[in-house]
Amino acid sequence: MKNLKLISNSPIETTKIAQALAKFLNIGDTVVLTGELGAGKTKFTEGFLTYYNLQDEISSPTFTIVNEYKSPLSTIYHFDVYRLADLDEFYAIGGDEYFDKGICLIEWGEQIEDALPLELIKISFEKNSEDDNSRILNFEAIGNKYEKILDSLSFELKN
């Protein structure tokens, strides 16, 4: 499937969704996380890292642009590109050289759209003005491989 819409009613539910996605991703896969401040992008990444037992090591990458988490299965690169001035800065730090080396999760990735892989998963997080603990997660798969991953994810979460 190309699109998958999931409702999360608590941070823990977001964690579970992220863990489920982690199961289907491999080295070379890219996930872009978009949504306003406090929408849950970092929370999702934390959840993703729990799949690899790396959750205790998370720190916000806000000041470093990219953090690296090593696990035997794959290295996870957690980007926050909010503070990058432009694409040139992304290339200058060798940003695009990470894509093949591990799994990349990129907060505010839409800001470097022209440097991203042509195929990826995009997740946009929407807050709910009525409920502080509720979020809508809109998954969009670009490319065949990622459409299959969304099929698997959707099946996994139903069971």
Partner 1 sequence: MRILSITTSSEICGVCILEDEKIIIEKNLNNGLTHSETLMPLIKQTLNDANLTLSNIDLIAIDIGPGSFTGIRIGIATVKAFADSLNIPCVGINSLEGLSLNETNNGIICSLIDARRENVYCEIFENINGNYIVRRKPAFENINELLKEIKQINPEYNITFVGDGAIKNKEIILKILPNSSFACNNELFAHNFGILGYKNHNNEDYKNIEPLYLRKSEAEQKMEEKLNANK
Ligand X SMILES: Nc1ncnc2c1ncn2[C@@H]1O[C@H](COP(=O)(O)OP(=O)(O)OP(=O)(O)O)[C@@H](O)[C@H]1O
Interface with partner 1 (CB under 8 A)? 86-88, 91-94, 96-97, 99, 114-115, 117-118
Nearest partner of 87 among 96, 78, 75, judged by Cα:
96
Other CB atoms closer than 10 Å to residue 132's CB: what's the count? Answer: 9
Binding letters toward Mg ion, positions 20-59, x by CB under 5 A:
---------------------xx-----------------
Look at residue 43 and give the partner it binds from ligand X, Mg ion, partner 1, none, a contact being a CB closer than 5 to 8 Å depending on partner kind: ligand X
Q: Provide the edge-to-edge strand list for the sheet that holds 66-69.
A: 3-8, 131-142, 120-128, 30-34, 103-107, 76-80, 66-69
Pick 18 or 120: Cβ nearer ligand X: 18
Look at residue 8 and give the partner it binds from partner 1, ligand X, Mg ion, none, a contact being a CB closer than 5 to 8 Å depending on partner kind: ligand X
